[in-house]
Amino acid sequence: MSKQTHDRARTTEETLLSVRNLSTHYREGEDDVPVRAVDGVDLEIARGETYGLVGESGCGKSTLGLSLIRALPPQGEIIDGEIHLDGREIGQPARSAVKDVQWADISMIYQGAQNAFNPVKTVGEQIREPLRIHDVVPEGERAGHVEELLDKVNLQPDITDQYPHELSGGMKQRAAIAMAIACEPELLIADEPTTALDVIVQAEVLNMLQRLQEELNFGMLVISHNLAAIMKLSDRVGVMYGGELVETAPSEVLYDSPRHPYTARLLRSLIDPRRPPEQVETIEGTPPDLRDPPTGCRFADRCDLATEQCTAEAPSLEAMSERHEAACFHHDEVSEL
């Protein structure tokens, strides 16, 4: 696995995306207690690099992605922090002021590509739309450009005139990828790109994303709870728990020597066909309520290593080795778990 992940990437050291102390909260009304979906996250992605984000459902992965592309639902708001893309601050300005960045520089493959297309418009019309909005391709060349995009994702050009319901699930997923790379973005966010697809199509989609990245050299943020897919695809992996980033490392380092107990448990919950099912572990308990997160470590009540210190104070990310950080007071004991 580690060989594969390293041979293909043309990762440069040039930082493309830099997220500092990002906090995104949801609240229904003025008096509502906010849900701290993303709470003080730091993140860096280099040009051409693939960063994988894993964690249980509701840990803030998707919210982080939506914050980056500035498409949070009306209840969501970036409370604090900075998002720099290519040196430009895009986190704090009003959404209307960063419209030019959306899709042109950051685009996104949304979770559930089955609904990625408007049912009453043709597929071609929708892939062409961002080209028009951002005027990246002259009007006369747009149709041809759409055909090239479709070719890149192995789709026939004649689907431009078809409606979404006329395509299969796999075709829709590929068309959604074509739509996402239409303006050749700098950063592609892929939120659960393979969920709800069958295994063969999953592999196809993952290979396609890798190939496109080599060709177009965009940075990629892959969000998934499918740890196996993330490991295969990513150069580096970040593990989120309860709205916080708890560990980040190159994917093979993370796989071989996790330093946060949550990561270790997550890895052991991977289903390995060679192991009998009783050896597949689950993690007892549920993630914390993000309306009122615990003051100490958010994983403490589910953790075997937890001590009084863990419930009293919150650990922050510390360097373990080069490019490997973890937020745990007991990171030395994780290997003995």
Partner 1 sequence: MASTSSKKAYIATRVRNYLAAFAAILVVNFAIPRVMPGDPTTRFVGPGFTEEARQELLREFGLTQPLWEQFFLYLTNTLTGDFGVSFARYPTPVMELIVQRLPRTLYLMGASVTISVVLGIPLGAIAAWKFGDRQDLVITQSSLLFRSIPTFWLAILLAFLFGYVVPLFPISGATSNATHPSFISYFMDLTYHTFLPVVTMSAYFLAGYTFLMRGSLLDILPENYIKIAESKGLSERQVLFGHAVAPAFPPVLTQLGFQIGRLAGGAVLVETVFSYPGMGQLMFESVLARDYPVIQATFFFLAVMVLGSMFLAEILYTVIDPRIGGSE
**Spatial separation of the C-alpha atoms in residues 59 and 233, rounded to whole Å:** 21
Residue whose structure tokens are 């914390």: 288
Q: How far is the CB of 266 from partner 1 (least distance, A)?
A: 27
- Name the residue among 254, 330, 305 with its Cα closest to residue 54: 254
Q: How far is the CB of 208 from partner 1 (least distance, A)?
A: 19
Q: Which is nearer to partner 1, 74 or 273 (CB)?
A: 74
**Spatial separation of the C-alpha atoms in residues 329 and 313, rounded to whole Å:** 10
Q: Which is nearer to partner 1, 99 or 291 (CB)?
A: 99
Q: Which is nearer to partner 1, 110 or 255 (CB)?
A: 110
At 62, is the secondary structure helix, strand, or coil? helix
Cβ neighbours, 10 Å, residue 33: 12
Q: How far is the CB of 95 from partner 1 (least distance, A)?
A: 9
Q: Which is nearer to partner 1, 10 or 95 (CB)?
A: 95
Residues whose CB is less than 8 angstroms from the CB of residue 263 and which lie 6 or more positions away in sequence, other chains included: 239, 246, 247, 254, 326, 334
Q: Which is nearer to partner 1, 5 or 62 (CB)?
A: 62
Q: How far is the CB of 125 from partner 1 (least distance, A)?
A: 11
**Spatial separation of the C-alpha atoms in residues 213 and 220, rounded to whole Å:** 8
At 79, is the secondary structure helix, strand, or coil? strand
Q: Which is nearer to partner 1, 111 or 248 (CB)?
A: 111
On whether the CB atoms of residues 77 and 40 are closer than 8 A, the answer is no
Q: How far is the CB of 189 from partner 1 (least distance, A)?
A: 9
Q: How far is the CB of 316 from partner 1 (least distance, A)?
A: 32
Residues that bind partner 1 (CB under 8 A): 29, 69-71, 73-74, 96, 99-104, 107-108, 110-113, 115-121, 126, 129-130, 133-134, 163, 165-166, 179
